[in-house]
A = this chain, B = another copy of it.
Amino acid sequence: MASTNVQFSVATHIMTALGDHYGEHCTSTFLAESVHTTPSFVRKSISKLVKAGLVIATRGNVGYCLLSRPPAKINLLDIYRASEAPATFEMHNYPVEKTCRTSTNIKKIMGNVLSKAQSGFEEELAAITLADLVAQVRARSK
């Protein structure tokens, strides 16, 4: 499954589990079992969430993770940005053919297009909170 970026979905999975257990202490081993992948991969993902200020992790003998604020105050755009997933699409990087005005200008123009499309993507994410996801998990497991 290499080469399809799953950073965002793994980060969201971790955050949802932390949200479902909000107030409790979770270990990275527990989270790795929930995602069902290796602890090293999960820890790398958690590390980004900690750096983004979404998760607090303590170290030492009784280390644990917990959300830094309530699930209702975290949205999916926060998680998306924290996960450092690559941009949805890249402009190609071929040299410019100076005799062609399309070639001369397309990179700048396409850059604007991609940035707009990315904004559309991000607006949808910003509208969904972690609390929404936790509620859905709980509703489905009844």
Residues of chain A touching chain B, judged by Cβ–Cβ distance below 8 Å, are 1, 3-6, 8-10, 12-13, 16-17, 20, 33-37, 76, 85-86, 88-97, 100-106, 108-110, 113-114, 116-125, 128, 133, 136-138, 140-141
Cα A122 to Cα B102 with chains together (Å): 23
With a CB–CB cut-off of 8 A, which chain B residues contact A92? 1, 6, 9-10, 13, 35, 37
Chain multiplicity (copies): 2
With a CB–CB cut-off of 8 A, which chain B residues contact A10? 92
Query: Which residue of B is nearest A30, CB measured?
Result: B100
Query: Which residue of B is nearest A5, CB measured?
Result: B89
- Choose one: B4, B103, B105, B114; the contact of A86 (CB below 8 Å): B4
- Choose one: B20, B37, B108; the contact of A101 (CB below 8 Å): B20
A91-B9, A110-B13, A140-B108 known; A124 vs B120 contact (CB < 8 Å): yes
- Choose one: B37, B100, B128; the contact of A113 (CB below 8 Å): B128
- Choose one: B88, B94, B105, B133; the contact of A88 (CB below 8 Å): B88
Are B103 and A35 interface neighbours, CB within 8 A? yes
Query: Which residue of B is nearest A118, CB measured?
Result: B121
Query: Which residue of B is nearest A94, CB measured?
Result: B36
Cα A121 to Cα B120 with chains together (Å): 5
Cα A30 to Cα B90 with chains together (Å): 23
Say how far A135's CB is from chain B's closest CB, in angstroms.
10
